[in-house]
Chain A
Amino acid sequence: MTFFFRPALLLLLAAALLPGSATSSAAQAQVVQRPASFTLANGLQIVVIPDHRTPVVTHMIWYKVGSADETPGKSGLAHFLEHLMFKGTEKFPAGQFSKTVIRIGGQENAFTYYDYTGYYQRVPRDKLATLMEFEADRMTGLTLKDEEVLPERNVVLEEYNMRVANSPDAQLTEQIMAALYLNHPYGRPVIGWKHEIEQLNREDALAFYKRFYAPNNAILVVAGDVQPDEVRALAEKTYGLQARQPAIPAERKRPQEPTPVSPRTVTLADARVEQPSLRRYYLVPSAVTAPAEESAALEVLANVLGHGSNSYLYRALVVDRQIAISTSAWYMGSALDATQFAVSAVPKPGIGFADIEDGIDKVIADVAQNGVKADDLERVKTQIVSEAIYARDNQSTMARWYGGALTVGLTIDQIVNWPDRVRAVTSDQVRDAAKTWLDKRRSVTGYLIKDTAKREDKRS
């Protein structure tokens, strides 16, 4: 049941990336408790987020390795390994970990993305020690047999069929990303290219595992009804026994993108497409690569343009001009390297992409020239900051926010201060972000259309 986060899911996380404080009248109160954080001698960073409402804990181990760390030619390996991590160790044979989690009424799963791979369980609080023993053992103790690896590769291929092959929309995303990234491995799909998934094997997986899975390349996040001292004591006895791997470099360096010079377009035509749509991705700085105020401005910009029915794109294209059925925008701030800012629209029947693009361009040009109205700016900031309070209602969400942000290289300070950064964003900063980054030369526009040509006529 392992899975990797679909981009769409990640967007939601990114859209509301970091926790913060209350809105307007509650704006002054510091409602985010700073989580406890400490590092074991072997380099494992541990973060503890308290939530004592229910006697439950969420235990997540995040490895600082994702699909963007794969060797060319081995795409899909990080995700494949994630699946294989459920195949048992010398100490605990296949199935024992999962059986134990289920027997105590727990839940578990795992996820892979460009910059990280994570494993989590949610269990009654008194079972935390058991989990930590299993998870720490799995950090270095994995054993793999071909009779487990090969059926699992078929499972991954079925996952590929479900997520990509059966979805023209997902195929368009793959094409846009591949066109957007000329040099950086974000251009490769997390799940991998099919022809390369088909060739992945036990040796590939074990080599990747030995190279990247170690305490000094991981972050443990524990959220829920637990005290930091308790977590520290348990971690010393479990994760603390794992040896540091000095060969893993502290800095994660991937090939970087050149300055983009040319707008690109891709078209995905498929007979199954009954509803055409358009998406444009811009290459923009992430929360890690940009100065903090710029990243916050991009987040505000995405919300101004594309969140809710008072967003500028929705008002212009859907309500006023009535040429689109829906619109959206998002900014994927939580990324190690240069990331994506996207706008999208679904045209009304009979409306061409040219009209839609013209409409989008005008909205963006207006913001790049005039910035954002004070009311709109205030509304959007309130929404972003309020998301942080709502998030406190969900310990898994909190664990994901911290884990995702820390794994790509943000600090706890940056996370805790995020609401203040958002509150400080000015109309001029949003205007400048639009002017600087939403430049068509930095973009790929993707069109999803129906393939109406008969196969044999395709050349005509």
Chain B
Amino acid sequence: MSARVMRAGRRTLGALALSLLAILPVPASATNIQRVVSAGGIEAWLVQDATVPVIAMEFAFAGGSTQDPAGKPGVSNMVAGLLDEGAGDLDSKAFRERMERRAIDISFSDSREYLRGSLRTLKENRDEAFDLLRLSVTKPRFDDEAIERIRAQILSTLRRQSTSPNDIASRRFFEAAYGDHPYAWPPMGTMESVGGISADDLRSYTKRNLAREQLKVAVVGDIDAASLREQLDRIFGDLPAKPELRPVAPVTAAVPPARVNVTLDVPQTVIIFGAPGIMRADPDFMTAFVLNHILAGGMTSRLYNEVREKRGLVYGISETLVWFSGSALVLGSTATRADRANDTIQTTEDEIKRIATEGPTQRELDEAKAYLKGSQMLSLDTSSKIATALLQYQIDKLGIDYIDRRNSLVDAVTLADAKRVAKRLWDQKFLTVAVGRVVQPTGAPARN
């Protein structure tokens, strides 16, 4: 079904999609988050809310594409595509019929470091939904029929991506920044690697990664703590206690001296630019977060004004903070027609250099802080948005009280901090990847 192809496609946005996580604000129902620990020791964060008879659950296993077998990228992605394609006694058809008959949504996705799951059900179908989820994580079947069907879908997406400037740019950026490190491995794999993935690869990955120890769970909706406590053991209790994870070494993104130009005959050139960023646990993280809003946060930001509003060079321009457990990036993207690509890159780099040198103004800082505080509850008005945020806080080890602390962290950012961190963040060379018609001789020096 096309939804799967779309899902697979979304996954490959990789860093760009992941970077959206950087702007998660916190729920207004902050004070109502309960820590629920099951008898078997599985922890979940819960916001109980019966306004709408719906339950949303988000969870993540440590793993993701960095745990793919060396030389065989795409296993984690394929597992994600197959966990909801048959489990226990139910083949794919039967499993999906049980879901669809009650409008239950269960889906899986993978990123570089996590294999994530998502469940949505009406309250009245709760038991059936959790039972199907239990089967999918503890007894996936990996039937040949399903494997070949999903493999064909992934290959089809990879074929499409092979001429998509955005996908090419993203892949090339990660290759240039991370070389042989697992962060450079394409999460969806390659035509060759996906062609060679076996049922044993999928089973072995599942056995190594789907375990209780590093499992994170967030639940929002019409369910109480006692019921959830029981359900957690029912769903996840049969999993092995510990995952067998290969350590992923910390790494700093490389910035090669030359711009990466990829020739592709498309009317609009896609540009991705980035550099080493600031880790989530770094004391300067919140300052960087506020600063990034000033440079690139929406319709009043410097980049939006200078590149789009004043010069009409582009439709969209973004720059965000991206972080993994062992590396971090500032990562931006934009697109323009070929003959304006250099102008766009130059204007963008000038703005980055300007904020690196001068820092923001007091007024900009005040306004950014006001925005970040005010927007806190805004993005958390739905069950699944809140669940996704709570999961991310767990992944980032921010503590269950983060919600109460977050605005004071924003408030504490001073102009002196901001100027210092602006230098740290942006006074460095950037790696730029441009995919489009030839805009300049390959190998011309990158500007910083």
Measuring CB to CB, which residues of chain A are less than 8 angstroms from any residue of chain B? 1, 22-26, 31, 51-56, 86, 95, 98-99, 102-108, 122-124, 150-159, 161-162, 165-166, 224, 271-275, 307-311, 314-315, 318-319, 322, 325-328, 344, 346, 348, 378-379, 382-383, 386-387, 389-390, 392-395
| Pair A166/B381 contact, Cβ less than 8 Å | no
Contacts of B192 on A, CB cut-off 8 Å?
A: none
Contacts of B381 in A (CB 8 A): 51, 53-54, 56, 224, 394-395
Q: B308 contacts which of A53, A155, A390 (Cβ < 8 Å)?
A: A155
A22 to B124, CA, bound (A): 10
Counting CB contacts under 8 A, is B268 at the interface? yes
A-B contact pairs, 14 of them (CB 8 A): A26-B53, A31-B53, A53-B51, A54-B27, A54-B380, A103-B370, A104-B374, A326-B5, A378-B101, A382-B103, A386-B103, A387-B103, A389-B52, A390-B54
Shortest B379–chain A CB gap in Å is: 8
Chain B nearest CB from A200 CB (Å) reads 13
Q: Judge whether B335 is part of the interface by a CB distance below 8 angstroms.
A: yes
Q: A158-B335, A344-B2, A379-B97 are in contact. List 4 more A-B contacts (CB 8 A).
A: A23-B122, A102-B297, A151-B311, A307-B1
Question: Interface stretch among B33-41, B153-161, B206-214?
Answer: B153-161
Cβ–Cβ < 8 Å partners of B314 in chain A: 155, 158
A379 to B370, CA, bound (A): 48
Q: Which of B297, B313, B378 has the most CB of A within 10 A?
A: B378
What per-residue 1/0 map shows which CB atoms of B284-311 lie under 8 Å from chain A? 0000000000000111100010001111
Please tell me if B357 contacts chain A, counting CB pairs below 8 Å: no
B165 interface residue per 8 A CB criterion:
yes
User: Which of B4, B100, B373 has a CB less than 8 Å from the CB of A105?
Assistant: B373
Complex contact B97–A105 (CB within 8 A): no
CA of A328 to CA of B2, assembled, Å: 6
Tell me the count of chain B residues lying within 8 A, CB to CB, of chain A: 72
Residues in A neighbouring B149, C-beta threshold 8 A: 318-319, 322
Which residue among A56, A318, A390 has the maximum number of chain B CB atoms within 10 Å of its CB?
A: A390
If A159-B315, A161-B335 touch, whether A151 touches B267 (CB-CB below 8 Å) is: no
Residue B204 lies at the interface, judged by CB distance under 8 Å to chain A: no
How distant is the Cα of A224 from the Cα of B377 in the complex, in angstroms? 13
Closest approach, in angstroms, between the C-beta of B82 and any C-beta of chain A?
A: 12
Known: A53-B381, A102-B367, A392-B52. A325 touches B124 (CB 8 A): no
* B369 CB, min distance to chain A CBs, angstroms: 10
Q: Are B267 and A389 in touch, CB under 8 angstroms? A: no
- With a 10 A CB-CB cut-off, give which of A51, A161, A379 has the most chain B CB atoms: A161
State the majority secondary structure of interface residues on A.
mixed
Min CB distance B13 to A, Å, is 15
Closest to A329 in B: B2
Question: Are B122's CB and A386's CB within 8 A?
Answer: yes
Chain A residues near B28 (CB, 8 Å)? 54-56
Docked Cα-Cα span, A273 to B3, in Å, equals 20
Task: Say how far B333's CB is from chain A's closest CB, in angstroms.
Answer: 11
**Which A residues are in CB contact (< 8 Å) with B103?**
23, 382-383, 386-387, 390
A54-B381, A102-B371 given as contacts; is B162 within 8 A of A274 (CB)? yes
Find the A residue at minimum CB distance from B105.
A390
Q: In the complex, which of the residues B120, B165, B312, B335 contacts A154, with contact meaning CB atoms closer than 8 Å?
A: B312
* CB <8 Å contact, B102 and A105: no
Instruction: Check B335 against A319 for contact (C-beta < 8 Å).
Output: no
Asked whether B382 is an interface residue with its Cβ less than 8 Å from the other chain, the reply is yes
Pick the residue among A98, A106, A165, A272 that contacts B374 (CB under 8 A): A106
Report B-chain residues with C-beta under 8 Å of the C-beta of A23.
102-103, 122, 124-125
Among candidates A102, A162, A348, A386, residue contacting B315 with C-beta atoms closer than 8 Å: A162
Cross-chain contact A166 with B1 (CB below 8 angstroms): no
- The CA-CA distance from A382 to B104 in the complex, in Å, is 10
Q: What is the chain A residue whose CB lies nearest that of B367?
A: A103
Known: A22-B53, A161-B337. A153 touches B156 (CB 8 A): no
CB distance from B303 to the nearest CB of A (A): 12
* Pairwise interchain contact B265-A271, C-beta atoms closer than 8 A: yes
Given contact pairs A26-B124, A102-B367, A102-B371, A394 touches B382 in the complex (Cβ within 8 A): yes
List A contacts of B118 (CB < 8 A).
Answer: none
Q: Does B336 contact A (CB under 8 A)?
A: yes
User: Which A residue sits closest to B162, measured CB to CB?
Assistant: A274
Tell me which residues across on chain A come within 8 A of B162, comparing CB atoms.
274
B372 within 8 A of A: yes
Q: Are A151 and B310 in contact (CB under 8 A)?
A: yes
Contacts of A25 in B (CB 8 A): 124
Closest-by-CB residue of A relative to B335 is A162
When distances are taken between beta carbons in the complex, the residues of chain B under 8 Å from A386 are: 102-103, 122
* Cross-interface CB contact of A325 among B125, B156, B298, cutoff 8 Å: B156
CB-CB under 8 A from A327, the residues of chain B are 1-2
In the complex, A150 Cα to B309 Cα: how many Å?
Answer: 10
| Interface check B353, CB cutoff 8 A | no
Determine whether the beta carbon of B29 is less than 8 Å from that of A105. no
For B1-39 the 0/1 string (1 means CB < 8 A from A) is 111110000000000000000000001110000000000
Q: For B93, what are the chain A residues with a Cβ–Cβ distance below 8 Å?
A: 309-310, 315, 319
Please, which residues of chain A bring their CB within 8 A of the CB of B377? 54-56, 124
Cβ distance A189 to chain B, nearest Cβ, rounded Å: 16
| Cα separation A106 to B370 with both chains bound (whole Å) | 10
Give complex CA distance A88, B262 in Å.
Answer: 40
The closest CB in chain A to the CB of B264 belongs to A272
Bound-state CA distance A387–B51 (Å) is 16
| Contact B54–A389 (Cβ < 8 Å) | yes
Q: Which of B200-255 contact A (CB under 8 A)?
A: none
Tell yes or no: B49 within 8 A of A by CB. Answer: yes
B376 within 8 A of A: yes
Closest to A125 in B: B377
* A325 and B5 in contact, given A98-B300, A310-B100 (Cβ under 8 angstroms): yes
Contact in complex: B384, A393 (CB < 8 Å): yes
Give the residue of B54, B335, B378, B380 whose beta carbon is less than 8 angstroms from that of A124. B378
Instruction: Kindly list chain A residues whose C-beta atoms are within 8 Å of the C-beta of B139.
Output: none
Closest Cβ of chain A to B36, distance in Å, is 21
B84 to A, closest residue via Cβ: A309
**B375 on the A face (CB < 8 A):** yes
Most chain B CB within a 10 A radius of its CB, from A106, A378, A383: A383
**Contact A274 B163, CB 8 Å, known A56-B381, A158-B335, A325-B152:** yes
Q: Contacts A150-B312, A158-B336, A392-B52 known; A165 to B2 CB distance under 8 Å?
A: no
Question: For residue A324, which residue of chain B has the nearest CB?
Answer: B152
Quick check: is B256 within 8 A (CB to CB) of the other chain? no
Residues of B within 8 A of A166 (CB): 165, 266-268, 335
Contact indicator B378/A98 (Cβ below 8 Å):
no
Beta-carbon nearest neighbor of B160 in chain A: A275
What residues of chain A lie closer than 8 Å to B5, measured between beta carbons? 325-326, 346
* Contact indicator A383/B100 (Cβ below 8 Å): yes
- Least CB separation from A1: chain B residue: B299
Within 8 Å by CB of B298, from A22, A102, A122, lies A102
Give chain B residues whose Cβ lies under 8 Å from the Cβ of A318.
1, 149
| Cβ-closest chain B residue relative to A345 | B2
Cα-based distance from A326 to B149 in the complex (angstroms): 9
Complex Cα gap A98–B367 (Å): 12
Q: Which of A52, A103, A152, A389 contacts B371 (CB 8 A)?
A: A103
Instruction: Provide the bound-state CA to CA distance between A242 and B149, in Å.
Output: 58
Residues of A within 8 A of B165 (CB): 166
A contact residues around B315 at 8 Å (CB): 155-156, 158-159, 161-162
Q: Does B92 count as interface, using CB distance less than 8 angstroms?
A: yes
